[in-house]
Amino acid sequence: MAKNEVKRLSPKQRQRDIDAFEAVKGISGYSPSKPTARVDDIQAVHDAMKTAQTEEVQAYGVADEKRDIATAKEWEFHNGMLEVAEQVIAQYGSDSNEIQKLGYKKKSEYKSPTTRTTTTPTNG
């Protein structure tokens, strides 16, 4: 048995297993002592694996679709909240407590721009 059956097998290893399975199906007289190593049992496990892989791919497709829908709704909500902020500013002003309640700074909380004076070096 494998050491770590939680990690996915590499695509290369999976293909080797499939190739070996196809080869063992062609061996005439193959009669294992372990019943779980019979071709019919391995075929059932192979079929279940293919079904699970197909369902996984389909689930990823659904997840991608759901993520795209969620992203679109997040942006729709964000844009709506930007419009709410615009309307609060229009109704109450940019220096109001109401705009602060929405998580924005009041206009008076921003520093006023200052002019910088530059000094010229003198040779002296």
Report the alpha-carbon distance of residue 124 to residue 20 in Å, rounded: 91
So what's the pLDDT on residue 22? Answer: 94
| Residue with the two structure tokens 């369902």 | 55
Q: Which residues of the chain have pLDDT under 50?
A: none
Report the alpha-carbon distance of residue 25 to residue 41 in Å, rounded: 12
Residue 15 and residue 1 in contact, taking contact as beta carbons nearer than 8 Å: no
So what's the pLDDT on residue 120? Answer: 72
> What is the Cα Rg of the chain in Å?
34
Tell me the Ramachandran region of residue 53: left when phi exceeds 0, alpha when psi lies from -120 to 50, beta otherwise. Answer: alpha
Report the alpha-carbon distance of residue 5 to residue 10 in Å, rounded: 12
So what's the pLDDT on residue 118? Answer: 76
So what's the pLDDT on residue 1? Answer: 58
| Residue with the two structure tokens 């924005």 | 104
pLDDT tens digits, one per residue of 54-72: 999 999 999 999 999 999 9
| Residue with the two structure tokens 């494998």 | 2
So what's the pLDDT on residue 53? Answer: 96
So what's the pLDDT on residue 124? Answer: 56
pLDDT tens digits, one per residue of 111-123: 887 888 777 777 6
**Cα of 67 vs its chain's centroid, Å:** 8
Closest CA to 39 of 50, 27, 51: 27
